[in-house]
Amino acid sequence: MHEFSDTSNVSSHSQSDSDVIQSLTFEAQVLHGLKGHKSPFKALIAAEYNGVQVKLVNNFKLGVTNKSPKFLKLNPIGKVPVLETPDGLVFESNAIARYVARSNAGNSLHGSSLIDYVRHFC
Ligand SMILES: N[C@@H](CCC(=O)N[C@@H](CS)C(=O)NCC(=O)O)C(=O)O
């Protein structure tokens, strides 16, 4: 996990552990973004349906937090959302939602066919 993560400063948006059957992730993915905005919300919805643990940082201030030197190490263009994952950083809300949707191999939220896979949910 990237050193920027401060998991004491996050709120949980996950289902119970028993819902996570074959999750590829073993710890919460940390989502940087503004609470209530549609962009991070897509990932949080995918997480709830998929039983993946995603934690949204608290006290995020648009135009302030995302312009800080710490944040710019996560995303040099200073945009949110950004997801910290065991695989690395993910940008773009649709890409993030897809990553979360595919994080649980035991769930077909991401679709079960090629045509499902290429269709966006946004
Ligand atoms: N296409 C991007 C849009 C990212 C974006 O423009 N985010 C806005 C908030 S919704 C942002 O970070 N604005 C801050 C800024 O531009 O300084 C996505 O879907 O993630």
For residue range 44-101, list pLDDT tens digits in order: 999 999 899 999 999 999 999 999 999 999 999 999 999 999 999 999 999 999 999 9
Residue at 37 is within a domain: yes
**Strands (E) located in 1-94:** 10-12, 29-32, 54-57, 82-85, 88-91
If you measure from the C-alpha of residue 25 to the centroid of ligand 1, how many angstroms do you get, rounded to a whole number? 26
Which sign does the torsion angle of CA 33, 14, 7, 85 carry?
negative
Residue at 2 is within a domain: no
If you measure from the C-alpha of residue 93 to the centroid of ligand 1, how many angstroms do you get, rounded to a whole number? 9
Residue 17 pLDDT class (50, 70, 90 cuts): very low
Residue at 1 is within a domain: no
- Pocket flag, ligand 1, residue 83 (CB < 6 Å): no
Which residues does 61 contact at the CB level (< 8 Å), separation at least 6?
A: none
Residue at 19 is within a domain: yes
CATH code of the domain containing 62: 3.40.30.10
Structural domain count, the chain:
1
Domain that holds residue 69: 7-118
If you measure from the C-alpha of residue 53 to the centroid of ligand 1, how many angstroms do you get, rounded to a whole number? 23
Which H or E run contains 43? helix 38-50
Which sign does the torsion angle of CA 97, 17, 86, 117 carry?
negative
The pLDDT > 70 percentage for the chain reads 76
Q: Round the average pLDDT of the chain to a whole number and report it.
A: 81
* Sheet with 10-12, edge to edge strand ranges: 10-12, 54-57, 29-32, 82-85, 88-91
**How many residues would you count in the chain?**
122
Q: Which ligand 1 atom is nearest residue 92's CA?
A: 20
Residue at 73 is within a domain: yes
pLDDT at 18: 33
- Pocket flag, ligand 1, residue 44 (CB < 6 Å): no
Residue type, 23: S
Residue at 55 is within a domain: yes
- Pocket flag, ligand 1, residue 66 (CB < 6 Å): yes
Top-confidence residue, 28 or 93? 93
